[in-house]
Structure formats: structure tokens, C-alpha cells
Structure 1
């Protein structure tokens, strides 16, 4: 999956070209920053056409995990106990991220097992297009901040910090700031608007 920022984005903010040593590390650090952002927000941010996910319905509703949703192409009920998968017609997309399912009354020759308590499908396969044509500027900014903070840090090696005040002493180990990409509280606040706090179980195919 593509990184959420590019070397050109870093150079524009740094005001100079990267050194040879920085260029060796930049791709890995951008990938790390992008992974942390995606993990925190639950969003891919890049556009995916006809992406397929398997979702469990809650109260007759499916919540799509990736936004913005551009188009919902198909909804299929996954058969259980030997029943076939069936493409549904009675569903309604709310235009944001939820699909309301019908009761199956529009399906001709619906398998009898669907009407049994243990036979009605609980999982659905949804094919939809989602994501941004361009990564949002604030997400690019956070990815650059995270990467540049690590890339330009002089502290490549961890060490021990100790301090003594009168009879009391304090000692702590600090990791090398230039080794690991981190996400600060301020950066999390910028990303919070992209997070989805509730959702359904997702299995990507």
C-alpha cells in the first residue's frame, strides 16, 4: 500500500534536499508513519475501486469500514449450511457508510434454510468503491511531521538519563529518537476526526 506522503512532500517542508544518509531511510520511515496513521484511524485514505469486504450485520444494518464511500456495487448474502451465496436486491445505502438490509422478500426461490433460525445468513459480501482521490492535506502533514521528526533527530542511539536532587535520584532509559517513528498526542488529535468508533467485523478478501 502506498505511503501517505512522498519524498517531495518532505523536501517541501524541510526546505532542502535530503542527504544521502536520509534518502536511504526515508522510504522505510514514510511506510512506518503511514502504517501508524492507518492503524490509529482505521482508514486506508487511498482510493480502492471495487474493493470487497465481508461484514456481519447488526440490527439489519451493515457499516462499511472505509470512507468516503463513492459507490456500492453489490451486496451478497453468504450462504451457510450448504446454502448458496445470493446477490441481494433489497438493500439501501444511506449515502454515507451504512447499508440497510431488507428481509429477503424480493428474492425468488429463496432457499428454505434461510427461514430457519440457524439458516438465515449473518454475514454479507459487499463490493464497493471508497477512498480519496488525493490523501487529505492534514493527513499528509502528520505523516511528514512524524517522518521528519525521526529523520532529522540527532539521537540515533538510546541511552540512560539520570538526575540527582539532594538525597533523591532519578534514572530512566530513553530510546533513540531517530530510530522509531512515533505518533504524538497532538497528531492523534488531528487524526481523530477520521476515526470510526463503532463498526462491524470485517474480513478483507
Structure 2
């Protein structure tokens, strides 16, 4: 499985901070963006960037009223840009159609071997994700990286009544680092996959 690229670039981060990075700062920024991108992807359960993937799924029975087909697979990576190929139990088929993230198979495969003993396995090669990462995702990745880039110790100071007080940020006392805040997670929730078909095998 190939390594996914970061969801924001070092140049993006430098422009946002209005800074010119040294070589050491560039290396630090890249590491932080890689970490923040991994955390965002883990939370969303999405690759985000455009890619073509081959997954194997277990076919599930369709709602005869809603789908009117032999079986359905929900493709987990979104948005689905193109379905390249489909095979059922190792046999290629074109007897399918797409409805959003659902792949619908027209012919019922449940009454023929080996489906009579086990659910059919559907291998799908499909292209998914955004050609350009949505701006709000990029902004949150940079924001998470900036927290450490600008204030690596997570320290905030202010003067109260003539006395200097130093404590962790935010005010809850929890230093997030590149982890996501509740506000950031809420902003990302519209991209998050909360349910759907689980891939049996991916390559």
C-alpha cells in the first residue's frame, strides 16, 4: 500500500505563518504536517486524496423495495469518482450500476454455489477522493501543525494583578499538540465515514 501524501504542504504552512523556514524548520514542519495528516485521516476514516484502490467486500443482501437488485456493496472511500472494474467470486461482471457510494449488482448470486454456502465476495477497483484537498481540511491540518511549530512546549503566559502566570494551553490545561480539538473534529464531521461496508482485503 502506497504512502499517502500530506494534506497540506510546507509552502502552505510557511505562507500562512508569513515566515521563511530554515532547513531544520522545513524538516520539522514536514514531520508535523505528516503527523497531523495521519491524525485527520484516522479520524475521518478516509484517504481524502485522489487514488485508485482495489478492495474486496462481502456482498450484502439488498432491500428489495429500496434497491431492487441482487446485492449491494457500499464503497468506503469518498467521493467515488469512477468504478473501474467489478468481479464476483473471481468472475468479472458488468451487470451492475452505481448509486452514490453504493455499487448495486443486478443479478442475484445468492442461490448458486458458492453463495449458497457463503456470501459472494466482490472485488472492486475504483477511483476515489479529491483531486484537490478541500480547503477546510488543509486549514485544520495546518492549524494542528502550527500549534507545535509556534509553541512546542504548549506554554501560555499572561500577567494577572502584576504577577506572571504560566500554564498549559488551552484553558482546560490540556496541551493538544497535533491532536484535534473538539471544534476541529466538529468542523471535519461532514467528511467522516461513520458506517458502511468493511473491506475484507485491500491492495
Which TM-score band (shorter chain)?
0.7 to 0.9
- Give every structure 1 segment of 4 or more consecutive aligned residues whose post-TM-superposition deviation is greater than 3 Å: none
State the SS of the aligned residue for 2:113: helix
Tell me if structure 2 keeps the 8 A contact 1:90–1:103. yes
Tell me: CA distance 1:4–1:117, structure 2 relative to 1, closer, same or farther (3 Å): same
- Asked if structure 2 preserves the Cα contact closer than 8 Å seen for 1:90 and 1:104, the reply is no
**Partners of 2:112 and 2:60 in 1: CA distance:** 22
Q: TM-score, normalised by structure 2?
A: 0.76
- The aligned residue for residue 64 of structure 2 is none
- Equivalent of residue 103 in structure 1, options 107, 110, 113: 107
Distance 1:93 1:64 in 2: 10
Q: State how far apart, in whole Å, the 2-side matches of 1:195 and 1:70 are.
A: 17
1:52 alignment partner in structure 2: 54
2:17 corresponding residue in structure 1: 14
Instruction: Say if 2:184 is the partner of 1:187.
Output: yes
* Gap regions ≥5 residues in structure 2: 62-70, 156-172
Counterpart position of 1:153: 151
Q: 1:102 to 1:182 in 2, by over 3 A?
A: same
Give secondary structure in 2 for the equivalent of 1:100. Answer: strand
Q: Is the partner of 1:17 in helix, strand or coil?
A: coil
Partner of 1:160 in structure 2?
A: none
Per the alignment, in what secondary structure is the counterpart of residue 151 of structure 1?
Answer: helix
Q: SS state of the match for residue 73, structure 1?
A: strand
**Counterparts of residues 17-32 of structure 1 (less than 5 Å):** 17-32=20-35
Unaligned stretches of 5+ in structure 1?
A: 79-84, 106-110, 158-173
Tell me the SS of whatever aligns to 1:113.
coil
Larger Cα-atom Rg: 1
What CA RMSD, in Å, does the superposition of the two structures yield over aligned residues?
2.3
After superposition, the Cα gap between the structure-2 partners of 1:112 and 1:58, relative to the gap in structure 1 and judged at 3 Å, is closer
- 1:67–1:97 Cα contact (<8 Å) kept: yes
Aligned length: 172
TM-score by length of 1: 0.75
Question: Structure 1 residue aligned with 2:91, among 64, 86, 95?
Answer: 86
Equivalent residue for 1:37?
40
Specify the alignment match of 1:76 in structure 2: 87
